[in-house]
Amino acid sequence: FLKRHPEIRRVSLYMDNDPGSLHSGIMLPLKNMINEAYALDIGRKIKAQARQAMKDGDYIGARAPYGYRKDPDNCHKLLIDEDTAPVVRQIFEWAHGHVALNRIVRNLNEMGITAPSHYKKSTGEITSPGLIGSGKWQTRTVMKILESEVYTGDLVQGKTKIVDHQQVKAGEDNLIIARRTHEPIISYELFTAVQEYRKQICEESRAVPKRPYTPNIFKGKVFCADCGRSLHRQRAERKKGPDVYWFHCLTNSRVAKDSCKGVMMQETELIATVTAILEKELSVALGMSLPLFQLEAKQKKDKDRLKTQMSARRQETEKKRRLIRGLYENFVQGILTNEEYFELKADYEESIRTLSGEIEALEKDMDALDSRLVRYRAMEKDAKSLTQDHALTAELIDRLIERIEIDHERNIHVTFRFKSEFQGKAVEPCTKNM
């Protein structure tokens, strides 16, 4: 970059050799501009080199697709993985036989076939815990395999690109296709037949008129007590009257038969039960707490105490700093030896660090007192609204409830986000037998 722009190189060398020649306020932005231009130029070269490698038929992914492994002699070439390629063939054969995605996933899990992320972990290709997953096959994993042209022996790369440091989906014009770069696992005919069938299913689904779903106020909050998986919200449409919504566990149909005891509960029943539980627990939590006017008085007293402690520690800190300044004068005058000076100075500095930590802790306690009062007022407001309207909303659930678990006997276990911290005792998770 600097070779192609000698004028910038001369400015850079001039600033490095004669730092006093320019005002420091001008020199630093200029250096930053040069460094940024250099980084952009390097980035463009790397992207251009990567795209040329794609055109040459080199695989540039970090990990080989499931069903393949990287050539030990050339990491940009793919070889058949004899352990997983048969699984890929079986998935495509099932899809060609019009087996539903859910059924394919269940077949794979019931057969005990290791999920791709866990298989890659066993080979050392994946080491990050965040990339490993649950160990079970998922519909999105199977869908990704069925959509990938790599299994026909072609490389289609450039499906994503980096925009503002974020990886986003790229358009068709960004794709680079290289034919017959490696040994195929399936034929073009099989791949095309599967894509056509999936497209047909998709079009048929779009053609069916759909009524919009009502908002799910329990989104991300309801789980199966037996297997721990999130419960699926399903709608039963009615010609007359409003649709009926159910929460049920999909483990037996998605993972393996009889792997969960199963859960099913109607949404209206869940809303009524959780509302009753929440009203009771808020009433208990607030009833055990001090009345608001007493709490505010107690908060003020506690804050005054903390302020006094903070003031005392700040004064002590300043005293230690004055002593350090006095030490240096005594050292210069020869009253203290070199060893005495540094030993006393270290003691005072350690005292200052301790006092600073105590002041910081006291400031956090002050903030906690303010937050505590704010949370109490919010709880009081929520309890009043719930008692008057008996209306459960998504916002209310998100503020007050951490998790809801339902077991196969339809017992509901609620873990709350709030605590009765005004007495220092947590509100226990509440279980209600239906």
Closest CA to 223 of 255, 248, 252, 257: 248
Question: Do residues 147 and 269 share a domain?
Answer: no
> What whole-number distance in Å separates Cα of residue 37 and Cα of residue 250?
53
Q: What pLDDT does 434 receive? A: 54
Output 371-378 pairs: Cβ under 8 A, ≥24 positions apart. 372/299, 372/421, 372/422, 373/295, 373/296, 373/299, 375/418, 375/421, 376/286, 376/289, 376/292, 376/295, 376/422, 377/292
Domain boundary among 169, 190, 207: 207
Range of the structural domain that residue 76 is part of: 68-207
Reported as a single tens digit per residue, the pLDDT across 193-245 is: 999 999 999 998 888 877 888 999 999 999 999 999 999 999 988 888 888 99
Question: Do residues 21 and 100 share a domain?
Answer: no
**Which residue intervals of 1-115 are DSSP H helices?**
6-17, 24-55, 85-96, 101-110
In a domain, 20, yes or no: yes
Question: Do residues 192 and 238 share a domain?
Answer: no
Token pair for residue 369?
């007192």
In a domain, 1, yes or no: no
Residue whose structure tokens are 């566990």: 249
Q: What pLDDT does 6 receive? A: 53
Closest CA to 185 of 115, 112, 80, 100: 80
CB 390 within 8 A of CB 275: yes
Q: What pLDDT does 289 receive? A: 55
> What whole-number distance in Å separates Cα of residue 316 and Cα of residue 326?
15
Token pair for residue 301?
């007293």
Which residues have C-beta within 8 Å of that of residue 191, sequence separation ≥ 6? 92, 149, 151, 152
> What whole-number distance in Å separates Cα of residue 256 and Cα of residue 108?
9
> What whole-number distance in Å separates Cα of residue 155 and Cα of residue 150?
5
Question: Do residues 404 and 290 share a domain?
Answer: yes
What residues does 163 pair with on adjacent strands?
166
Buried b (16+ CB within 10 A) or exposed e, 203-216: eeeeeeeeeeeeee
Let me know if 49 is exposed, middle or buried by CB neighbors in 10 A (0-12, 13-18, 19+): exposed
Which residue type is seen at 346? A
Q: What pLDDT does 292 receive? A: 54
pTM above 0.75? no
Q: Per-residue DSSP letters for 367-392? A: HHHHHHHHHHHHHHHHHHHHHHH---
> What whole-number distance in Å separates Cα of residue 208 and Cα of residue 27?
66
In a domain, 62, yes or no: no
In a domain, 60, yes or no: no
In a domain, 393, yes or no: yes
Question: Do residues 392 and 299 share a domain?
Answer: yes
Query: Could you give the 3-state DSSP secondary structure of residue 431?
Result: strand
Reported as a single tens digit per residue, the pLDDT across 404-433 is: 999 999 999 999 887 544 444 333 445 555
Q: What pLDDT does 390 receive? A: 79
Question: Do residues 27 and 155 share a domain?
Answer: no
Q: What pLDDT does 25 receive? A: 55
Domain boundary among 157, 180, 207: 207
Question: Do residues 297 and 369 share a domain?
Answer: yes
CATH number of the domain residue 105 falls in: 3.90.1750.20
176-178 and 222-224 as β-strands: parallel, antiparallel, unpaired? unpaired
Question: Do residues 197 and 217 share a domain?
Answer: no
Domain boundary among 207, 233, 254: 207
232-236 and 244-248 as β-strands: parallel, antiparallel, unpaired? antiparallel
Question: Do residues 100 and 171 share a domain?
Answer: yes
Q: What pLDDT does 422 receive? A: 45
Question: Do residues 259 and 349 share a domain?
Answer: yes
Question: Do residues 203 and 217 share a domain?
Answer: no
CB 113 within 8 A of CB 137: yes
Ranges in the chain, pLDDT < 70: 1-28, 165, 287-296, 419-434
In a domain, 331, yes or no: yes
Query: How many domains does the chain divide into?
Result: 3
Question: Do residues 250 and 301 share a domain?
Answer: yes
Q: What pLDDT does 428 receive? A: 42
